[in-house]
Structure 1
Amino acid sequence: MYLNCHTYYSLRYGTLKTEELLALAVENNCKILALTDINNTSACLDFVRLAPKYNIRPILGVDFRNGAEQQFVLLAKNNEGYKNINSYLSSFLHQPGLAIPERPVEMENCYAVYPFKKGKNYTLKQNEYLGVSIKQLSGLKFSKQNINKDRLVLLHTVSFQNKKGYNTHRLLRAIDNNTLLSKLSISEQGHEEEQFLTAEKKELIHVDFPELIENTLQLLDNCHIEFDFSETKPKNQHAYSNNENLDFRFLQKLTYQGLSYRYKNVDEKTYTRISKELDIIKERGFVSYFLINWKILKYARSKGYFYVGRGSGANSIIAYLVRITDVDPMELDLYFERFINIHRRNPPDFDIDFSWSDRDDITRFMFKQFKNTSLITVYNTFKFKASVRELGKVFGLPKSEIDLLTRGKFNFNQLDNLSQLVLKYSQYIQGFPNYLGIHAGGVLIPEEPIHSYCATFMPPKGFATAQIDMVAAEDIRLYKFDILSQRGLGKIKDAVEIVERNHPHQEPIDIHNIKRFKEDKHIKYLLKNAKAIGCFYVESPAMRMLLKKLQVDDYLGLVAASSVIRPGVAKSGMMREYILRYRNPERRKEAHPVLLNIMPETFGVMVYQEDVIKVAHHFGGLTLGEADMLRRGMSGKFRSRDEFSKVKQQFFDNCKADGKPDAVTSDIWRQIESFAGYAFAKGHSASYAVESYQSLFLKAYYPLEYMVATLNNGGGFYSRELYVHEAKMHGGIIQAPCINQSEYLTTIMGNTIYLGFGFLRSLETQAIEKICTNRNRYGTFISLDNFIDRVPISVEQLAILIKINAFRFTGKNKKELLWAAYLQTSKVPKEDYVPTLFQPKKISYKTPELKSSELENAFDEYELLGFPLCSPFDLLANPKENTLRANQLLHYKNRVVTIDGYLVATKNTATSNGKSMHFGTFLDRKGDFIDTVHFPPIAAKFPFRGKGIYSITGKITEEFECVTIEVISMYHQAIIEDPRYSENPKNIIA
Structure 2
Amino acid sequence: MFLNCKTWFSFHYGTYEPAKLIAQATELGIKSLALTNINSTADCWDFVQKCQAVGIKPILGAEVRNANAFCYVLLAKNNAGLLAIHAFLSYHKQQEITFPERPHFTAQDVWVIYRYQESILQQPLGAHELIGLDIQHLNNLTWQLQADSNKYVILHPVTYQDRTYYDVHRILRAIANNTLLSKLTAADYAGEGEVLMEEKELVSAFARFPSIISKTMEVVNSCSVEMEFHVDKNRKYFTTSEEDDSALLRKLAMEGCKMRYGMRNKQAMERVEKELKMIANLGFNAYFLIVWDILRYANERGFYHVGRGSGANSVVAYCLRITDVDPIKLDLYFERFLNPNRTSPPDFDIDFSWQDRDAIFEYIFMRYGRQYVSLLGMYTTFQRRAIIRELGKVFGLPKEEIDRLVHTKEWNAEDKFQRWIKKYGELLVNFPTNISVHAGGVLISEKPLNQYVVTELPPKGFVTAHMDMFEADRIGLYKFDILSQRGLGHIKDALQLIASNRGKHIDIHQVENFLNDPQLAKQIRQADTIGCFYIESPAMRQLLGKLKCSDYTTLVAASSIIRPGVAQSGMMKQYIERYHDRDKIVYLHPKMKELLEETFGVMVYQEDVIKVAHHFGGISLDEADILRRAMSGKYRSENKFEKLREKFFANCRALGYADAVTAEVWRQMESFGGYSFAKGHSASFAVESYQSLYLKTYYPQEFYVAVINNFGGFYRTEFYFHELRRNGGDIQLPCLNHSDYLTNIHGNKVYVGFIHLQGLEERFAHQIVIERKKNGEYKDLQDIFQRLHPSPEQLNLLIRIGALRFTGLDKKTLLWEANFKSKRVEKEVPVSLFATADEPHFNLPSFEEDRLEDLKDELDLLGFVVGDFFELLEEKHLQGSITVQDLPAYLGQQIKIIGRLVTIKETRTIKSERMCFGTFLDVDGGWLDTVHFPPVYKQYPFLGAGFYELYGRVIEEFGVYSVEVLSMRKLGYKFGASK
TM-score range with shorter-chain normalisation?
over 0.9
Runs of 4+ residues over 6 Å off in structure 1: 827-831
Q: Is the partner of 1:423 in helix, strand or coil? A: helix
Letter paired with 2:788: V
Mean Cα deviation higher: 562-571 or 47-56: 47-56
Letter paired with 1:445: I
Contact 2:35 2:44 in 1 (8 A): yes
Letter paired with 2:423: K
> Which residue of the partner structure matches residue 219 of structure 1?
219
Q: Is the partner of 2:651 in helix, strand or coil? A: helix
The Cα offsets for residues 298-356 of structure 1, whole Å up to 9 and x where unpaired, read as 00000111000100011111111111111111111111211211112333211000001
The Cα offsets for residues 890-915 of structure 1, whole Å up to 9 and x where unpaired, read as 22222222211110011111222322
Contact 2:896 2:952 in 1 (8 A): yes
> Which residue of the partner structure matches residue 936 of structure 2?
938
> Which residue of the partner structure matches residue 112 of structure 2?
112
> Which residue of the partner structure matches residue 417 of structure 1?
416
> Which residue of the partner structure matches residue 259 of structure 2?
261
2:943 pairs with 1:909: no
From 538, 543, 547, give the equivalent of 1:546: 543
Contact 2:351 2:482 in 1 (8 A): yes
Contact 1:16 1:159 in 2 (8 A): yes
Contact 1:6 1:159 in 2 (8 A): yes
From 305, 308, 323, give the equivalent of 1:310: 308
2:565 pairs with 1:568: yes
Equivalent-residue separation in structure 2 for 1:236 and 1:396 (angstroms): 49
> Which residue of the partner structure matches residue 691 of structure 1?
688
CA, structure 1 residues 22+164, in 2 after alignment: closer, same or farther (shift >3 Å)?
same
User: Could you list the runs of 5+ residues in structure 1 that have no partner in the other structure?
Assistant: 979-987
> Which residue of the partner structure matches residue 344 of structure 1?
342
| 1:382 shift after superposition | 1.3
Contact 1:858 1:870 in 2 (8 A): no
> Which residue of the partner structure matches residue 898 of structure 1?
896
Equivalent-residue separation in structure 2 for 1:573 and 1:738 (angstroms): 52
| 1:877 shift after superposition | 4.7
Equivalent-residue separation in structure 2 for 1:567 and 1:793 (angstroms): 52
Mean Cα deviation higher: 189-198 or 690-699: 189-198
| 1:68 shift after superposition | 2.6
Equivalent-residue separation in structure 2 for 1:436 and 1:340 (angstroms): 32
| 1:290 shift after superposition | 0.5
Q: Is the partner of 2:441 in helix, strand or coil? A: strand
2:977 pairs with 1:976: no
> Which residue of the partner structure matches residue 191 of structure 1?
191
> Which residue of the partner structure matches residue 298 of structure 2?
300
Tell me the TM-score normalised to structure 2 length.
Answer: 0.97
> Which residue of the partner structure matches residue 499 of structure 2?
500
| 1:874 shift after superposition | 2.2
Equivalent-residue separation in structure 2 for 1:830 and 1:475 (angstroms): 70
2:580 pairs with 1:579: no
From 270, 275, 282, give the equivalent of 1:277: 275
Q: Is the partner of 1:873 in helix, strand or coil? A: helix
The Cα offsets for residues 230-288 of structure 1, whole Å up to 9 and x where unpaired, read as 4x4x1100001121111111100111111222123543222221111111111111110
Equivalent-residue separation in structure 1 for 2:717 and 2:871 (angstroms): 20
The Cα offsets for residues 608-667 of structure 1, whole Å up to 9 and x where unpaired, read as 111111010011110001100100101112122122221111111100111101111111
> Which residue of the partner structure matches residue 326 of structure 1?
324
From 634, 658, 661, give the equivalent of 2:658: 661
The Cα offsets for residues 56-110 of structure 1, whole Å up to 9 and x where unpaired, read as 11110010011232111010111111111000011111022x1112221123511
Q: Is the partner of 1:952 in helix, strand or coil? A: strand
Letter paired with 1:102: E
From 928, 948, 965, give the equivalent of 1:967: 965
Equivalent-residue separation in structure 1 for 2:846 and 2:75 (angstroms): 82
Equivalent-residue separation in structure 1 for 2:206 and 2:153 (angstroms): 13
Contact 2:19 2:50 in 1 (8 A): yes
Equivalent-residue separation in structure 2 for 1:823 and 1:444 (angstroms): 61
Contact 1:347 1:474 in 2 (8 A): no
**Superposed counterparts of 1:562-641, under 5 Å:** 562-590=559-587, 592-641=589-638
> Which residue of the partner structure matches residue 451 of structure 2?
452
2:766 pairs with 1:769: yes
2:777 pairs with 1:787: no
> Which residue of the partner structure matches residue 796 of structure 1?
793
**Superposed counterparts of 1:377-776, under 5 Å:** 377-408=377-408, 410-414=410-414, 416-504=415-503, 507-590=504-587, 592-776=589-773
Q: Is the partner of 1:599 in helix, strand or coil? A: helix
Equivalent-residue separation in structure 2 for 1:427 and 1:841 (angstroms): 77
Q: Is the partner of 2:728 in helix, strand or coil? A: coil
| 1:848 shift after superposition | 4.0
> Which residue of the partner structure matches residue 859 of structure 1?
856
Q: Is the partner of 1:274 in helix, strand or coil? A: helix
Equivalent-residue separation in structure 1 for 2:422 and 2:356 (angstroms): 44
Equivalent-residue separation in structure 2 for 1:456 and 1:325 (angstroms): 32
The Cα offsets for residues 851-879 of structure 1, whole Å up to 9 and x where unpaired, read as 33110011100011101223332223573
Equivalent-residue separation in structure 2 for 1:827 and 1:363 (angstroms): 52
| 1:816 shift after superposition | 1.1
| 1:836 shift after superposition | 5.5
> Which residue of the partner structure matches residue 51 of structure 1?
51
Contact 1:443 1:482 in 2 (8 A): yes
Mean Cα deviation higher: 808-817 or 758-767: 808-817
User: Could you list the runs of 5+ residues in structure 2 that have no partner in the other structure?
Assistant: none
The Cα offsets for residues 454-479 of structure 1, whole Å up to 9 and x where unpaired, read as 10011122211110001110111110
Contact 1:592 1:604 in 2 (8 A): no
| 1:571 shift after superposition | 1.9
Q: Is the partner of 2:607 in helix, strand or coil? A: helix
Letter paired with 1:750: G
Equivalent-residue separation in structure 2 for 1:161 and 1:489 (angstroms): 50
Mean Cα deviation higher: 818-827 or 386-395: 818-827
CA, structure 1 residues 266+786, in 2 after alignment: closer, same or farther (shift >3 Å)?
same
| 1:827 shift after superposition | 8.2
Letter paired with 1:220: V
2:19 pairs with 1:19: yes
> Which residue of the partner structure matches residue 983 of structure 1?
none
| 1:593 shift after superposition | 2.5
2:134 pairs with 1:137: no
Contact 1:93 1:458 in 2 (8 A): yes
Q: Is the partner of 1:516 in helix, strand or coil? A: helix
Equivalent-residue separation in structure 1 for 2:648 and 2:139 (angstroms): 61
Mean Cα deviation higher: 794-803 or 144-153: 144-153
| 1:587 shift after superposition | 1.7
Percent sequence identity over matched residues?
Answer: 46
Mean Cα deviation higher: 382-391 or 357-366: 382-391
Equivalent-residue separation in structure 1 for 2:576 and 2:542 (angstroms): 12
> Which residue of the partner structure matches residue 159 of structure 1?
159
CA, structure 1 residues 841+630, in 2 after alignment: closer, same or farther (shift >3 Å)?
farther
Mean Cα deviation higher: 675-684 or 580-589: 580-589
The Cα offsets for residues 940-970 of structure 1, whole Å up to 9 and x where unpaired, read as 2111100011111222221101112222111
Contact 1:312 1:348 in 2 (8 A): yes
Equivalent-residue separation in structure 1 for 2:827 and 2:729 (angstroms): 39
CA, structure 1 residues 209+333, in 2 after alignment: closer, same or farther (shift >3 Å)?
same
Contact 1:612 1:672 in 2 (8 A): yes
Aligned residues: 973
Equivalent-residue separation in structure 1 for 2:942 and 2:10 (angstroms): 44
Equivalent-residue separation in structure 2 for 1:641 and 1:893 (angstroms): 53
CA, structure 1 residues 488+143, in 2 after alignment: closer, same or farther (shift >3 Å)?
farther
The Cα offsets for residues 774-833 of structure 1, whole Å up to 9 and x where unpaired, read as 1111111121221122112211111111010111122211111111111112687999x9
Equivalent-residue separation in structure 2 for 1:191 and 1:632 (angstroms): 43
The Cα offsets for residues 496-539 of structure 1, whole Å up to 9 and x where unpaired, read as 111112213xx421211111111111111110000010011100
Tell me the TM-score normalised to structure 1 length.
Answer: 0.96
Contact 1:94 1:458 in 2 (8 A): yes
Equivalent-residue separation in structure 2 for 1:48 and 1:79 (angstroms): 13
Equivalent-residue separation in structure 1 for 2:290 and 2:312 (angstroms): 16
